[in-house]
Amino acid sequence: MSEASPKAAAVEPAPRQAASTAGGPPDHSRAFRLRRFLNWFPLGLAYAFLYMGRYNLTVAKNALGQVMTKEDFGVIFGAGTLVYGVAFLLNGPLTDKVGGKRAMIFAVVGAAVMNLAMGLYVAGVTAAGADTSDLRLTFAILYAGNMYFQSFGAVAIVKVNAHWFHVRERGGFSGIFGTMISSGIFFAFTVNGWILTFVAGDSGAQAASARWVFYLPALLLGAMAAIELFLLKDRPSLAGHEDFETGDASAGDSRDVPVFEIMRRILTNPIILTVAFIEFCTGVLRQSVMHWYPIYAKEWLVLPTEHYLRDSSPQWLWVGACFAVAVAFFLLGRKAAGRRKAWYLISGGLVFLAPFLTGGWGGVLMVAGVIGGNVAGWVSDVFFQSRRAPAAGGLYAVLALAAVAMYFTLGDTTNRVDWVDNSRALIGQDRLERGDEILAIAGVDDVDRWEDVQRAVACVPATCRDGSRFDTVKCMCTNGAAHPYRGTEREGRTIPARVRRHGRVVELALFDPGNSMRAGDSRAFKAGPVTTLSPLWLGVCVFLMSLCVIGTHGVLSGTATMDFGGRKGAATAVGVIDGFVYLGTAVQSFALGYLTPKSWTYWPLFMVPFALLGFVLTTRIWHAKPTGKGGH
């Protein structure tokens, strides 16, 4: 029977009952474990690159500035996630019939094509004289197409691995799933950020370089399609090994189950529906932190690009030292046994992850996700006999506390300079210095916060190139200026400022970083403010929230779906549950796109009710475990 046929993916030989220790996972051969690694590792890498081509939108938004406003971003991302969530309901059952391999290849090929299309569109919209008036609609359509193809990714992973992992091994798989997600987030935020910085170079023209954060994921996804075509197998029997009984909800059922029967089982299962509503809350919380924090860090806190909570690059000497120590711990762990072995391996893992904390926002998310995913899976298997709800409930309790704490750690900005980059100022020209208190700038005296400074500088009329005009309301050059500047061209390339420096009031004529701009550009000094509270405290809160929310998502969407959906309904189960995840994502995208321009204080307040609701729902399925047809 051909592997490529849909029937082959659905009709399986009767699996054997795997040998195992009492109450434990099966005892697999070394050859089986190696072949399973060659199956799930490229599959996980493909999924990570899907993330890179999914959340590059946030990196592009920051690069495009006011070409893509926060409201534009909210609508575009919301439209994409809405399509993604609905597509799960169709593509989950479809994947259960055609198999995970075909679904994953469809995902990576389709996402590669859509990322290429988005890159080409960005290249066009940032070109000289380009019209940006249809950006929101066009980008929403392209991004929605990308998200449709992306929706095959998660269901394909769970469908394939449901055949390769026993239910008592799936807590460990939750760690694998969380690591996949986390590495994808690292690629999406940090690696894409590095790409943007490299391509923009000294020119600082990030808007024109934004197309590359779409081009590179398209290339990587195309490469993974070719690799998966040869390596990925839906079941062990298709890779020369024997299928085995996995002990999930499909245990003891070897017949071909019709798609409508699978849908009926899933949609009438109260445990799966409860998990779906928990994951709706997860969708709200995960994206509220993951996508809105980098926007907050850049637009409100104005952290420098090299800050460890933005796009910093690790010190490679530090990276090498940590990796060497990690290898030493792993080697010691191979020779040790019992608790000593566990501590060596855990210590090695933590030391290995340490450099990623200096790798920008994507690195922070990666560390949080790897720890959260592995701890959640391990706790559910070791302490709760593979029950997933208690692990998720504990994480949700921490989530609720961290969301409340986040409100008190937002802080505010001042009119004092914390950092400044004067590399573009001319020799002998006046410059801002660290510690300066800005009393007035660009003719505006009321500048108590950095937001006032930014607005005053941005709204100085500029000479706009390539037929664009300066919009006095948006304070940027645009081809469709609704409120065009009608005054005379400003002379000189300086902006007047009055600062208090070392106790003395000093008048300055500062270098104008945006005297001549093209469509989409907005003037800003490369400087940032002293904040009323250290960004570290907010960083701790968002790190804890990311750890908890990625751990929850891995143990529920990545593992509970296999447990309660079974091998035959795993893709449909994850389709329903991830559909709810992205329904939550769409809700937060539209809501925060509307709320954050009014006040960032709405950001944590919006999240608190969903954290509390998620915790309450986990208590409803606290003792739930899968039971197969055969009584497993």
CATH code assigned at 489: 2.30.42.10
Question: Residue 39 falls within a domain, yes or no?
Answer: yes
pLDDT at 392: 85
Exposure letters 207-228 (e unless 16+ CB within 10 A, then b): bbbbbbbbbbbbebbbebbeeb
d(CA 100, CA 232): 9
Residues 167 and 216 in one domain: yes
Evaluate whether 158 touches 104 at the Cβ level (below 8 Å).
no
Is residue 430 domain-resident? yes
Q: What is the pLDDT of residue 112?
A: 96
pLDDT number for residue 569? 60
The reply to whether 304 and 249 lie within a common domain is yes
| Domain end position, chosen among 488, 512, 531 | 531
365, 297 in Cβ contact below 8 A?
no
Q: What is the pLDDT of residue 281?
A: 92
Out of 515, 531, 547, pick the residue that ends a domain.
Answer: 531
259 in a structural domain: yes
Structural domain count, the chain: 2
**Are residues 399 and 460 both part of a single domain?**
no
Domain identity same for 508 and 539: no
Record the tokens describing residue 172, joined without a space: 């460990």
Bridge partners, 391 (sequence order)? none
What secondary structure does DSSP assign to 256-303, as a single string?
---HHHHHHHHHT-HHHHHHHHHHHHHHHHHHHHHTHHHHHHHHTS--
DSSP state letters, 428-483: T-B---TT-EEEEETTB----SHHHHHHHHHTS--EEPTT-EEETTTTEEETT-SS
Q: Is residue 24 part of a domain?
A: no
Weakly modelled stretches of the chain, pLDDT under 70: 1-26, 66, 70-71, 128-133, 167-178, 201-206, 246-263, 265-266, 313-314, 385-386, 466, 479-481, 489-492, 518-521, 557-571, 625-632
Domain membership flag for residue 74:
yes
Residue linked to tokens 């590359």: 212
Q: Are residues 460 and 605 in the same domain?
A: no
Residue type at position 239 = A
Instruction: Tell me: do 376 and 457 sit in the same domain.
Output: no
Task: Specify the pairing of strand 527-531 against strand 413-420.
Answer: antiparallel
pLDDT of residue 497: 92
Specify whether 401 is located in the same domain as 438: no
Same domain, residue pair 150 and 192: yes
Same domain, 589 and 506: no
Q: What's the CATH number where 306 sits?
A: 1.20.1250.20
In a domain, 175, yes or no: yes
- Length in residues, the chain: 632
Indicate the burial class of 426 (C-beta count within 10 angstroms; 0-12, 13-18, 19 or more). Answer: exposed
The last residue of a domain, from among 507, 531, 555: 531
Q: In angstroms, what is the C-alpha Rg of the chain? A: 26
So what's the pLDDT on residue 374? Answer: 80
Per-position b or e across 346-370, b if 16+ CB within 10 A of its CB: ebbbebbbbbbbbbbbbbbbbbbbb
- What integer pLDDT is reported at residue 558 of this predicted model? 60
Residues 65 and 140 in one domain: yes
Instruction: Label the pairing between strands 463-464 and 516-517.
Output: parallel
**If 0-12 CB within 10 Å is exposed, 13-18 middle and 19+ buried, where does residue 316 land?**
exposed
Whether residue 131 is found in the same domain as residue 237: yes
Q: Is residue 219 part of a domain?
A: yes
- 468 is in which domain, residue-wise? 413-531
| Co-location of 581 and 433 in the same domain | no
In a domain, 277, yes or no: yes
**Residue 202, pLDDT score:** 56
